[in-house]
């Protein structure tokens, strides 16, 4: 049950696009399309932004998109806004019938 690997931090200027990677193995990210992304503000509960690798829940801005290639999933945020500054976590279902999370990425909007 090793954590998925995410960069500790990423940054971008307003209007730019950024991508956060999430690397696992063939037993989790690479083996299933149950990959989710969550946004979390300090002191708040996580909010689902992407499920099923690339599906956006109702109410989530279309500036958020997800994809997967092999054992690595990615979250892309286009047209960066100040309100996007938060922590982002990926998660995946794994072959041991458990869920595994990434270590989290702090997004800074410059």
Partner 1 sequence: EVHLLESGGGLVQPGGSLRLSCAASGFTFSSYAMNWVRQTPGKGLEWVSGISSSGDSTYYADSVKGRFTISRDNSKKTLYLQMNSLRAEDTAVYYCAKDLYTFGREADYWGQGTLVTVSS
Contact pick of 34, 54, 63, 85 for partner 1 (by CB under 8 A): 34
| Residue 66 near partner 1 by CB under 8 A | no
3-state secondary structure of 110: coil
Taking CB under 8 A as the binding criterion, the range among 12-20, 30-38, 68-76, 78-86 that sits at the site for partner 1 is: 30-38
Beta strand pairing status for 47-50 and 72-77? unpaired
3-state secondary structure of 83: helix
The residue (of 14 and 52) whose beta carbon lies closer to partner 1 is 52
Q: Which residue is it, tokens 């690997």?
A: 5
Number of residues binding to partner 1, judged by CB under 8 A: 26
Neighbouring C-beta atoms of residue 69, cutoff 10 Å: 10
Contact pick of 7, 47, 60, 85 for partner 1 (by CB under 8 A): 47
The distance of closest approach from Cβ of residue 99 to partner 1 in the complex, given in angstroms and rounded to an integer, is: 4
- Whole-angstrom distance, CA of residue 99 vs CA of residue 90: 10
| Residue 59 near partner 1 by CB under 8 A | no
């Amino acid at each position: 049950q090793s954590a998925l690997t995410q960069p500790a931090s990423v940054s971008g200027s307003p209007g730019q696009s950024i991508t956060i990677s999430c690397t696992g193995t063939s037993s989790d990210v690479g083996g299933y399309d149950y990959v989710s992304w969550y946004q979390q503000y300090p002191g708040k509960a996580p909010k689902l932004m992407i499920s099923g690798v690339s599906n956006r829940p109702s109410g989530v801005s279309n500036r958020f998109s997800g994809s997967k290639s092999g054992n690595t999933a990615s979250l892309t945020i286009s047209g960066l806004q100040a309100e996007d500054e938060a922590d982002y976590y990926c998660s995946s279902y794994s072959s041991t019938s458990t869920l595994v999370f990434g270590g989290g990425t702090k997004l800074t909007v410059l």
